[in-house]
Amino acid sequence: MMQLDLTETHEMIRDTAREFAQNEVAPTAIERDIKGEFPADAVKKLGELGFLGMMVSPEWGGAGLDAVSYVIAMEEVSKVDASVGVIMSVNNSLVCWALETYGTDDQKERFLRPLATGEKLGAYCLSEPEAGSDATQQRTTATLNEDGSWSLNGTKNWITNGTSADVYLVYAQTDKEKGYKGISCFIVEKGMPGFTHGVKEDKLGIRSSDTCSLQFQDVRVPAENMLGPEGRGFNLAMETLNGGRIGIAAQALGIAQGAYEAALAYSKERKAFGKPISDLQAIQFKLADMATKISAARALVYRAASQKDKHERFVKEAAMAKLFASKTAVEVALEAVQVHGGYGYVREYKVERYLRDAKITEIYEGTSEIQHIVIARELMRENA
């Protein structure tokens, strides 16, 4: 495993993200979680800090930073509130990256620039009621009209930023006969006639992020809003998700780190049998296991980000990072609740939220089962 030396820029990014998370996000995290309230103010400030277009070239309004900077910021934000973390992840990893990689100059000017600066927010629309892990089974269709525009019809599920976004990347079948080779990607804007959303989902965790279903009924999308070549949507989606997994791995890492820090601090304050419970070997062993798993997860996350920065193949590394970091988040958060005892079961002590937030990292942007498949497939490819 590589050892990554952080630069002064990386340290500056960490300090900025940490200060922002502690001062702007933490004070309202519990209340927003209870109410399921979207963190509009925090998202606005994320944009002002340049954290919504971190890896986008300055030419298009972005910060021009590397993937390592991105995962550092993601960890710090998610350590305080994973809901804000996933909003940041979707905009950076799934929407901005896809637009910068596949978009025309006109699309970049119209959509990427305001997304990178935080003027607008993006959403990524791939999952459907009948197309979760098997994204080839897209039922949403796009029919070509005589004037060259496309008519979108269908439903998308589990869309992060669903009611709050301004720009949506929507995947649809443009040629059913070709199966997944007939899937294309479209840029849909909020307010287009026929485009509506369902009610916000009442979720177990990441409750202040905005998740809902989307409906498309004869939504007219101009020809110039197709992203990438016709029929290349599935490939575009999979390539985008490879990078997205690094962002979710960093989110999981942040959740684990936050839960560990809370457990460590509590163990020094709580007394039992006449001394702090941090003096008890049973608690010390828990903390030791938590810290070890987090260090291993961080190494995997940084490795995947570093390989992406070096333009090396990172499919396996991203899947490994997401698989291990998400598992670590769940395990560490569960132990953090245990360390807190009864207090770990109430909202005031935060760790119950870390546990609820952790679980989704094993599900979205590719379940843990899918990550196993991806890793195994890459191992077979490397050893063919």
Where exactly are the structural domains of the chain? 8-121, 123-232, 235-382
Identify the CATH class of 8-121: mainly alpha
User: Would you place residue 344 in the very low, low, confident or very high pLDDT band (cuts 50, 70, 90)?
Assistant: very high
Over range 38-57, report the average pLDDT: 97
Residues 6+ positions from 303 with CB-CB distance below 8 Å: 1, 2, 4, 317, 321
User: What pLDDT sits at residue 3?
Assistant: 54
pTM: 0.97
* Marked catalytic residue, from 100, 335, 365, 378: 365
Over range 228-237, report the average pLDDT: 97
CATH topology for 235-382 is Butyryl-CoA Dehydrogenase, subunit A; domain 3 (1.20.140)
User: What pLDDT sits at residue 384?
Assistant: 86
Does residue 322 register a pLDDT over 90?
Answer: yes
Over range 121-141, report the average pLDDT: 95
Does residue 81 register a pLDDT over 90?
Answer: yes
Is 123-232 in CATH node 3.10.20.30? no
Q: Each residue of 244-272: pLDDT tens digit?
A: 999 999 999 999 999 999 999 999 999 99
Does residue 24 register a pLDDT over 90?
Answer: yes
Over range 341-364, report the average pLDDT: 97
User: What pLDDT sits at residue 320?
Assistant: 98
Q: What is the average pLDDT value for the chain, to the nearest integer? A: 97
Distance, in Å, from the CA atom of 358 to the CA atom of 364, rounded to the nearest integer, reads 11
Is there a contact between 45 and 24 (Cβ–Cβ < 8 Å)?
yes
Does residue 183 register a pLDDT over 60?
Answer: yes
Percent of the chain with pLDDT over 90: 98
Query: Which of the 8 DSSP states describes residue 350?
Result: S
Strand ranges inside 74-202, DSSP E: 122-125, 141-144, 150-160, 167-173, 183-189, 195-197
Over range 345-349, report the average pLDDT: 94
User: Would you place residue 1 in the very low, low, confident or very high pLDDT band (cuts 50, 70, 90)?
Assistant: very low
| HEC-encoded secondary structure of 298-326 | HHHHHHHHHHHHCCCCCHHHHHHHHHHHH
User: Would you place residue 5 in the very low, low, confident or very high pLDDT band (cuts 50, 70, 90)?
Assistant: confident
Is 31 noted as a catalytic residue in this protein?
no
Distance, in Å, from the CA atom of 102 to the CA atom of 28, rounded to the nearest integer, reads 37
Helix segments in 56-118, DSSP class H: 67-80, 82-89, 97-102, 105-107, 113-117
How long a stretch of residues is the chain?
384
Residues 6+ positions from 240 with CB-CB distance below 8 Å: 93, 94, 97, 98, 101, 124
